Structure 1
Amino acid sequence: MIGMLVTFTPRSGTFDRSTLEKIAGELRGPFDGMPGLRFKTFMVDEDGARARNFYVWEDEEKGRSFFTEELVEKVTGIYGAPPVIEYLDVVGFVDNSAG
């Protein structure tokens, strides 16, 4: 498994939480049932200084190939800031979603 932490920092000011909630709602659909994607979160710092998305991929190749140049350009337009992408080796995982 591989994790990806994607951080967006606005060029000026902060992110508006309601705007990020709207973005998350609009962008959620394509991720539902996406092959190889274990989960994805849309997050914002308490002070709105950074929006962060976290992904866990079952397959490292799919995770590393996800952010194409085209996708980076698209999300830069959506968030108004380019993403900083960090790849992380997942060495342990707890999933309590099954109940």
Structure 2
Amino acid sequence: MIGVTVTFSYPDGFDRARITEVARNARGMFEGMPGLRFKFFTFDENRKQAVNFYVWESEEKAKRFFSEELRGRVTELYGVAPSVDFVQIAEIVDNAH
């Protein structure tokens, strides 16, 4: 499995309402998405960042999803360009069950 951290940094103009609205509106797009195990929408007001974290079944699916077209769309939605970082996941603990 692979994790992807997508970070939007706001040196000026951090807008919590905008970030939560984007998350609320985008949620349905990710429900049931093939290859995506988890997606978390987060924000950190102290650091002035929105950080989304994804867990994908494969690196191939993750890299295919994060196309230049997608980066352009999320830049428009969030108002700043994101940094995208891929990490290998060694293990997941899921206590939901």
Query: Which residue does 1:94 correspond to in 2?
Result: 93
Gaps of 5+ in 2: none
Gaps of 5+ in 1: none
RMSD: 1.2
CA–CA distance in structure 2, aligned partners of residues 24 and 48 of structure 1: 18
* CA deviation after TM superposition for structure 1 residue 36, in Å: 0.6
* CA deviation after TM superposition for structure 1 residue 20, in Å: 1.1
> Share of identical aligned residues, percent?
48
User: Does the CA contact (< 8 Å) of 1:72 and 1:83 recur in 2?
Assistant: yes
CA–CA distance in structure 2, aligned partners of residues 29 and 6 of structure 1: 18
Q: Return the TM-score normalized by structure 2.
A: 0.93
Listed as ranges, the matches of 1:18-57 within 5 Å are 18-47=17-46, 49-57=48-56
How many residue pairs get aligned? The number is 97
CA–CA distance in structure 1, aligned partners of residues 74 and 90 of structure 2: 28
Amino acid at match of 2:80: A
Amino acid at match of 2:59: E
Question: What per-residue deviation string (whole Å, max 9, x for no partner) do you get for residues 21-71 of structure 1?
Answer: 111000001100000100000111132511100000012210111111111
User: Does the CA contact (< 8 Å) of 1:17 and 1:48 recur in 2?
Assistant: no
User: Does the CA contact (< 8 Å) of 1:15 and 1:48 recur in 2?
Assistant: no
Query: Which residue does 2:68 correspond to in 1?
Result: 69
* CA deviation after TM superposition for structure 1 residue 16, in Å: 1.9
Q: Return the TM-score normalized by structure 1.
A: 0.91
**Structure 1 ranges of 4+ moved more than 3 A:** none
Amino acid at match of 1:8: F
